[in-house]
Chains A and B, each alone.
Chain A
Amino acid sequence: MRAENITLESRSVSLGFDVERIRQDFPILKQKIKGKTLIYLDNAATTQKPEAVLEALRRYYTSKNSNVHRGVHWLSEQATRDYEAARHRVKSFLNAGSEHEIIFVRGATEAINLVAHSFGRKWVQAGDEIVISAMEHHSNIVPWQILCEEKGAALRVAPINDEGEMVLEEYEKLLNSRTRLVAVTHVSNALGTVNPIRSIIQAAHSKGIPVLIDGAQAAPHLKVDVQELGCEFYVFSGHKIYGPTGIGVLYGKERLLDQMPPYQGGGEMIRSVTFQKTIYNQLPYKFEAGTPHIAGAIGLAAAIDYVNALGLETVAHYEQMLLAHATEALAAVRGVRIIGTAQDKAAVVSFVLDGVHAHDVGTILDQQGIAIRAGHHCAMPVMERFGVSATARVSLAFYNTRQEIDAVAASIHKVREVFG
């Protein structure tokens, strides 16, 4: 009886969030790695998939697989209906104004590249400027560098402070009549910083500058309402929100997408083709050349349904509790320095261990069945800003537990044992 009471108590500690039951939904979490139960703390890289997503993929391929928007047959009708239903769910998830504003792409990276190519081709010229921040993932740096190089435009970088927060005064100074676009991350993958995107968007809009928000790390953790935010573009990846890899979303305001030229040419994106002239399809199909990742979109919709059923706010609340615990537990280990100490953070604790390289920390933790990321997190300028070549990163999801975090802290003591 007593043992049972304790279990119930520790569950209630997790704010009415039954994490043990939720873990049952994720088959991979039952797996043993090197004889130890997997502790998966690399969720900023990719998240694990619940049974509901796996089942949606299986159901699609076993009973509805067909091409969309083409066939007159029953299967194609079913596939088209499910694919478009997925678009509708993404629309609701972001609270976009219309399905025309939801473009399915491979991931956040492709979404940013799409905007850089298409928006850039139309509106960026020599002497123009694009503004990003110093905490961007390479995927929100390199496409703009390529564009700037092609057009003779300039990339301007808003600095971050020692806590890993964007310096808003400096950012605002960068905005001028030559600025064509601001592209900033919602949540930093390397630091966990939640950017004050409302202020960032407002500052840009006050000068008539459109804004792209990279939501790859935010969509799994925060409620996003693109109409309320008012940003022109918002991008995220399916696989970071418990969906399949290879599917992602570009939200764009219809007014802009309408004027933007296609990103890729091919089937699906056309209305009519002759050798003299091609008339492009309407939104969103204008930007979806070729057969799309139908199963991926359906899987993503299942993931969104799953997260919605848990409730993003409930999830966020639980993850904040985990984040506070992880920050405290890791900071208590001798020689640990946490990189990224912003006031407003989400789900990520990056750290360095005095005298031990992150890669060695990663290998030693791996021997305990613990998966963390060690490296530059595709954000080399962030590493440079903090004077480190790499960090170890614990990134959390709602299926993680306090006990798992305690196991990480204990394993870092083991690193100390090995390194003396």
Chain B
Amino acid sequence: MSDLRQLYQEVILDHYKKPRNFHPLADAHRSAEGYNPLCGDKVTVYLKVEDGLLSDISFIGSGCAISMASASMMTASLKGKTVTEAEAFFERFHALVTGRAGTNAEAKLGKLAAFSGVCEFPIRVKCASLPWHALRAALEAKEETVSTE
């Protein structure tokens, strides 16, 4: 049960049940869709980028607790951050869920450190990283759906 509690931490379940920034952005500058063909999880990330800042970020989608909470917490963490900071977050988050992050990196992730349990569940890594791949695609202004496969 302890591994499960480590994976499904309270903050993750809270964001799954009450996702933040869960709506399309009518005046988004960029958006991108992420899709995990393994489980059918889908997430679309919307961005407003002004003067190198993510002045607004939101998402819509459907999927498992890990992917939806990851999307919700990603938007909550990145709103108001610079594009450069967002990219650094991507790298740190990816290192965290693949088990390559040190404690220092975890500290810099703030609440997102709750995803540290994911690395014990290799097939769930894609769930956690799906919205982040969509974010990166949106930042790079890629048109087509990014896939975790």
Contact = CB atoms under 8 A, between A and B. Distances in A.
A389 B41 contact: yes
A360 B40 contact: no
Contact of B39 (A364, A390, A414, A420): A390
Contacts of B65: 356-357, 360, 419
User: What interface size band does chain A fall in?
Assistant: 20 to 34
Interface string A354-377: 011111100110010000001110
Contacts of B28: none
A1 interface: no
A119 B147 CA distance: 35
B121 A363 contact: yes
B4 A375 contact: no
A61 B17 CA distance: 55
B4 A364 contact: yes
Nearest to B124: A363
B54 interface: no
A418 B64 contact: no
B31 to A, nearest CB: 20
Given A356-B65, A357-B65, A389-B62, A375 B40 contact: yes
A415 B39 CA distance: 18
Interface string B3-30: 1110110000100010000000000000
A303 interface: no
B63 interface: yes
Interface string B73-98: 00000000000000000000000000
Interface string B116-138: 00000100100100000000000
B38 interface: yes
B64 A360 contact: yes
Interface string A325-366: 000000000000000000000000000000111111001100
B66 interface: yes
Interface string A407-420: 00000001000111
A374 B39 contact: yes
B39 A359 contact: yes
Interface string A384-405: 0000011000000000000000
A383 B40 contact: yes
A114 interface: no
Given A356-B65, A360-B64, A389-B62, A419 B40 contact: no
Contacts of A356: 65
Contacts of A355: 17
A380 interface: yes
B13 A357 contact: no
Contacts, number: 52
A359 B42 CA distance: 13
B40 A390 contact: yes
A355 B3 CA distance: 21
Interface in B47-67: 62-66
Nearest to A34: B3
Given A357-B63, A359-B64, A380 B40 contact: yes
B13 A420 contact: yes
B84 to A, nearest CB: 33
Contacts of A390: 39-40
Contacts of A419: 8, 13, 65
Nearest to B38: A375
B105 to A, nearest CB: 25
Contacts of A414: 1
A389 B40 contact: yes
Contacts of B8: 360, 418-419
Nearest to A418: B8
A419 B4 CA distance: 11
B116 to A, nearest CB: 16
A383 B39 CA distance: 11
Given A363-B124, A375-B39, A389 B63 contact: yes
B39 A418 contact: no
12 contacts: A359-B63, A359-B64, A359-B124, A360-B66, A367-B3, A367-B4, A375-B38, A380-B40, A389-B42, A389-B63, A390-B39, A419-B8
A379 to B, nearest CB: 11
B40 A363 contact: no
A376 B40 contact: yes
Contacts of B39: 357-359, 374-376, 389-390
Nearest to B68: A357
Contacts of A383: 40
A359 B13 contact: no
B145 to A, nearest CB: 15
Contacts of B42: 389
B111 to A, nearest CB: 19
Contacts of B63: 357, 359, 389
Contacts of A420: 13
A111 B51 CA distance: 58
B2 to A, nearest CB: 10
Contact of B127 (A359, A364, A376, A380): A359
Nearest to B62: A389
Given A389-B39, A418-B5, 4 more contacts: A364-B4, A375-B38, A389-B62, A418-B13
